[in-house]
Amino acid sequence: MKIAIATDHNGIKEKEEIINYFSENYEIIDKSPNNNPTDDYPYYAFLVAEYVRNNKDTLGVLLCGTGIGMSIAANKVKGIRCAHVSNLNEAKLARQHNSANIIALSYKNNINDIIDYIKVFITTDFSNEERHIRRIKMISEYEEGN
């Protein structure tokens, strides 16, 4: 599995720690290798979202001040289900119930918590329960204009 990751000018140190932690077991694609103080988060959210959409077996990780802006921007990309996550249960349910393919986090969380959220997110499988399949299909159909 691949993990595409990006941050804006916030979370650079945390992004590097995440890359160091996960690179032993996953291929990490850093979509924000050259951050600067004037970074605009939508740009990086779009880069990760488009990469995830176009590459099978890839999940995404986005960091910014709150994770909210990154989540909003990523969800504008067709086929993306980005979840803003702030605890372990949300990380699990984002994958299990919504088949989320990107997680958005606040870099202000404790780095150990951030790593735990990502671990749960990437190791949790979609439940394949009929009700969840039906709901994701509704979202996809709406996205398609149907």
Q: Residue 145: helix, strand or coil by DSSP?
A: coil
The question of whether 97 is a catalytic residue gets the answer: yes
- Total domains, the chain: 1
Q: What is the pLDDT of residue 60?
A: 98
User: Which of the residues 64, 82, 84, 132 is marked catalytic?
Assistant: 64
CATH number assigned to the domain comprising residue 88 = 3.40.1400.10
CA distance 114 to 71: 16
CA angle 79, 21, 65 (to 5 degrees): 60
Q: What is the pLDDT of residue 73?
A: 98
What is the average per-residue pLDDT within 20-45? Answer: 95
User: Of these residues, 9, 84, 97, 132, which one is catalytic?
Assistant: 97
Average pLDDT over residues 94-116: 98
Find how far residue 126's CA is from the centre of its chain: 15
pTM for the structure as a whole: 0.96
pLDDT digits (tens, 9 = 90+) for 59-89: 999 999 999 999 999 999 999 999 999 999 9
Q: Which residues contact 63 (CB under 8 A, 6 or more apart)?
A: 5, 6, 7, 8, 10, 11, 14, 15, 18, 70, 104, 105, 106, 107, 114
pLDDT digits (tens, 9 = 90+) for 37-49: 889 999 999 999 9
Whether residue 146 has pLDDT greater than 80: no
**Which residue range(s) make up the domain with 131?**
2-143
